[in-house]
Each structure stands twice: as C-alpha cells, then as structure tokens.
Amino acid sequence: MQLRTPTDIPATPPQIIANARLYGTIDDQFRLLLFTARSPMKLLLVEDNPILSHWLAKVLEQEDFALDTALDGITADQLLRTNYYDVVLLDLNLPKLSGKNVLRGLRLRDDTTPVMILTASGSIDDKVELLGAGADDYLVKPVEFRELIARIKVLIRWQTASTVGKLICGDLKFNIDSRQFTLNSAPLHLTPREHNVLERLILCPGKTVSKVALMDSLFTLADEATEEAVEVYISRVRKKLDGSSAAIVTLRGLGYVLRPIESN
C-alpha cells in the first residue's frame, strides 16, 4: 500500500477532531500512522454521514485495514450476510434500517462478528440496551482515532480467545497486538497480502480455512477476487516458510490449514 502524505488526507471534520490538544495535528497523526501501519484485516464501516465516513475510511486504510463501507442499514445487512469481517463499526441512526436492527439481525443469525457502536449518543440507557443486544463495544462521537484503533485491536484479540497476545505454530509466532510475525525469533518479511493470508490461517489454529474465506479476507468489494490469486499467495507464503516447523497443508476440496511439522 502506498502511504499518503499529510496533505493527501482530507480535512478532519469537526465530528472527529473536537480538541487539538487531545487528538494532535494531522502531521502528528500521519507520523503515528507511518509508525504503526500493518497488514490488512477486514472491517465494515457503517456510517451514513459521507464526510465522516470518508475521513474514517482514510484513517483506517492508513492503518492498513482492508475496508468495506455502507451508508445505510440495508446495504450493511446484505454485506454482513455475504462477507466475512473481523470487526463491524456501526452507527445507530441509519437510513432504511437502523443500526440497532442491523445488530439484532446479526446476532439472530448467530453471527459472533465483533461489533463496535459508533454514535453521538452517550446515554447510559442506550449503552446498556446496545451492549445487552450483543454489541461488543460502544464509542461516543467525537472519536479519537488512536483510541478507535486500540479498541479495534482489542476486539480482534478477544475474537482469537488469546490471553497472552501471541499465537504460535512451531517456530512461527504471531504477536496479535503488533500484528507482526517472527520465524525462529527473526522478523518474517511478507507483502501485505501474503501477511493477510498467513494472519487468517494462524488466527484459526488447527481449523481449515476455505478458499472462499481467504478470498473474502484478502479482497475488498473494489478488488477482483479469484481462487487462482489465493493459490498464488499460498504458494508464496509456503516458500517463505520453507525449512521452518510450520506448514500450510492443503485439504483438497476443503481449503488450507496451518499446522506445526512434527519432528521424528
């Protein structure tokens, strides 16, 4: 991903930056983005304010998250029925279908995707109601983007059910907080999509991940996703794991699983 210069970032709307002393300048934010950029995990941003949605999308993309956006509840509901997301950022006051009903529909389908409510309402009653309906977190606008990113990472960490912040497969280790891989204690250098393939596999320890699931994790709606592309990235990652005690195993007709290689 090509990082943008500070002047490429759109002007920060007042809904986000309410206090410069809290949020810092755009230049400060950009330097932080350069320092913390990582490989993508997939988010769905549901926000009906186009300006706010655009600004949040730019911030999240600079953090190297893969991102789909929806401006109304019906579109969000359709995307959630057909796509995989690591976290959903959900506004409440949406046209066509309210955020509350989007959340209720998600949980009625037994979908456990983490949901963070982003809303201007700081009412305790609203917080209690939404958390009781299945929301995992609740953040009141205006949001401070560093807190938003930190909370997203917490939700992803909870989803992996890891209390130590690391996942291990043989001599391959993944730090959930920094989203960095090490192999034999040395950094493993991967392209963003190679990283995303391996990240998806290690976040599902011992479980088979289908090609369709990998396609959904790798590509956004704006990309042209193919099974052949998934095979190419799997092949590239395998080469970078060559000689290690972690291997990507193909289960024909099912998908792929990351497993440690047992020594004799």
The pLDDT of residue 26 is above 50: no
What integer is the mean pLDDT of 147-173?
77
Among 26-30, 101-105, 117-121, the range with the most confident prediction by mean pLDDT is: 101-105
Read off the pLDDT of residues 82-100 as tens digits, 9 standing for 90 and up: 888 889 999 999 999 999 9
How far apart CA 168 and CA 261 sit, in angstroms, is 12
Which amino acid is present at 153? K
Per the model's pLDDT, the better-predicted residue between 33 and 12 turns out to be 12
Angle at 211 between CA 210 and CA 216, to 5 degrees: 100
In Å, what is the CA distance from 250 to each residue of 55, 85, 226?
40, 23, 17
The per-residue pLDDT for 182 is 92
Q: Which two tokens stand for residue 50?
A: 């186009």
The per-residue pLDDT for 23 is 33
Task: Look at the block and give the residue holding tokens 């002007």.
Answer: 11
Read off the pLDDT of residues 235-248 as tens digits, 9 standing for 90 and up: 999 999 998 999 99
The pLDDT of residue 253 is above 80: yes
Per the model's pLDDT, the better-predicted residue between 257 and 176 turns out to be 257
Which amino acid is present at 132? G
Sketch out the chain's domains with CATH numbers.
6-159 (3.40.50.2300), 166-260 (1.10.10.10)
Helix (H, G, I), strand (E, B) or coil at 158: helix
Among 63-67, 102-106, 117-121, 211-215, the range with the most confident prediction by mean pLDDT is: 102-106
The pLDDT of residue 118 is above 50: yes
pTM reported for the whole predicted model = 0.54
Closest CA to 116 of 166, 150, 83: 150
Identify the band that residue 24 occupies on the pLDDT scale cut at 50, 70 and 90. Answer: very low
The per-residue pLDDT for 88 is 95
Contacts of 252 (CB under 8 A, 6+ apart): none
